Amino acid sequence: MIKKTGFTLIELLIAIMIFAIISIISYRIISALLITKEVVTKAQNKWGELAGSINRINMAINSAIPLPIRNAEGDVVASMLGKNKLNQQFDAQLELTISGRIGDPVYDTTPPRRVGFRFIGGILYEVNWPVLNTIITTTPRVDQLLHNVSSFQVQYLYPDKQWRDQWPLDNNNTSHLPSGVKVNILMVSGERIIRQWNLQ
């Protein structure tokens, strides 16, 4: 007599149940890992973008020089200009003249130029003019620096040790730099970054 071997119905149901449990646990683990990876990637991108933006502002302010320029209308513009209201297409809350480089191994020799930091529509932009004077025949390069920004505020330290949100107060100080600059960035997610630079 030949003995038949195989699974009984109960054994088969138990095997299917065990496989289903293992599959559910595996799916939840993989799903959790993917979610964690996505969260970590977003955080890395956000903080990397923020660090890069602060570095760009830091480089510009540390390179600031007291050299006024002329705008498209031929008017003299202060070496550093701070304002709250944007009127023109390439206006910036913080605009300044930065020094050039002589014999730099990376940038070679470059003349002084004009740089601005413009906040509009939740995005912080860097405005780079190819020439010193912002004449009407030139168009600056505008780069997006930071997204999801709630507010971007710049303050300037005056000789009376008071912080004000514009520079200069009059056109008699076009070649002067403030004693200090303070940048306050508030992200949509709630983080606040405050940096301060002493210029004198």
Domain boundaries, the chain: 57-198
* Contact partners, residue 62, CB within 8 Å, separation at least 6: 197
Q: How far apart are CA 110 and CA 107, in angstroms?
A: 7
**Minimal CA–CA distance to 114: which of 101, 130, 126, 103?**
130
Q: Are strands 76-77 and 163-164 parallel, antiparallel or unpaired?
A: unpaired
CB 97 within 8 A of CB 113: yes
Q: Kindly state the DSSP code that residue 3 receives in the 8-state scheme.
A: P
Q: What is the pLDDT of residue 103?
A: 58
Q: What is the pLDDT of residue 20?
A: 87
Q: What is the pLDDT of residue 109?
A: 67
Q: List, in sequence order, every residue forming a beta bridge with 152; answer none if it has no partner.
A: 185
CB 149 within 8 A of CB 119: yes
Q: List, in sequence order, every residue forming a beta bridge with 144; answer none if it has no partner.
A: 125
**Residue spans of the chain under pLDDT 70:** 1-7, 102-109
pTM above 0.85, yes or no: no
How many residues make up the chain in this entry? 200
Q: What is the pLDDT of residue 149?
A: 95
Q: What is the pLDDT of residue 130?
A: 85
